[in-house]
Amino acid sequence: MSGIFAKIKSGYNNFSISEKKVAEYVLKNPGEVPFQSVYDLARSIGVSVPTVTRMTKKIGYQSFKKFKVELAVDTSSTIVDIYSEINPQDKDEDLARKVFSSNIQALEDTLKIIDFNDLSKTAKCISSAKRTVFFGVGGSGLVAMEAALRFSHLDVQAEAYCDPLQMLVQAKRLKENCIAVGISHSGRTKQTIQALSVARRSKAVTAGISNYIDTPLKDECNYYLCTSFAESRVKAASLSSRTAQLCLIDVLYLMVAKHRNKIWDIEGLNDLIEKNLRT
């Protein structure tokens, strides 16, 4: 499946007002759109034909025809609301089901839109880099620290920085044989974007992880990995988007392990940690 619904929802915040009308119409009438011409669709929505084509191009389709073909494929399965809003009347069981459902949906949709070429190239860069530095603020900073710890298990020189000043200093210290990975759910975190910009000017490879297809963060990245979690009035993004981010880190971890010619003695490290915990 192409994940066309996930792409629309991921790019929604970057659409113009008229483009959002097109997106909303497609999401509400997915079974009808494949049978409409671009002119009929534009007339039905009350927008111009260029507006329709701009929206489809923003989510990666070069022509409206290709967009319709993939939409027809995706509509063969049931469309499920990405997130059921949490409300005070929810029973504990309802709350648990909604949280699990949102995480499952976020992972499934992320798998549909991920750029596997960028994913593989990022892993190869990390596997051979002299330094791998993760940048993130707030919840993304926690993901950055977790990522650095995991890659350290592979004997990768991995570091994480969450303080804005430290981020700039370390970004400036990076060189051609280094990679900087910026993590930002919104893709608009100024400190993270600035750190990647500095790292890029220092000739380091830059990669980004965000929840939206087109963001200022992407402009500073050689490689860009996009998760998919649709926003709702309940800000559960800090939960479900983090799940998708960590899943991407896990995939990168395994890819790096595969690319590394010499794997560190991880079992020896595990024994050392276990002995330390017992004392």
Summarize pLDDT for 122-132 with one digit per residue, the tens: 999 999 999 99
Q: Please name which of 112, 7, 24 lies closest in space to residue 61, comparing C-alpha atoms.
A: 7
- pLDDT at residue 101 tops 90: no
pLDDT at residue 100, as a whole number: 84
What is the spatial distance between Cα 7 and Cα 79, in angstroms, rounded to a whole number? Answer: 14
Rounded to the nearest 10°, the torsion over CA 210, 211, 215, 219 is 30
Domains in the chain with CATH codes: 4-74 (1.10.10.10), 113-266 (3.40.50.10490)
- pLDDT at residue 137 tops 80: yes
What pTM, to 2 d.p., does this model score?
0.72
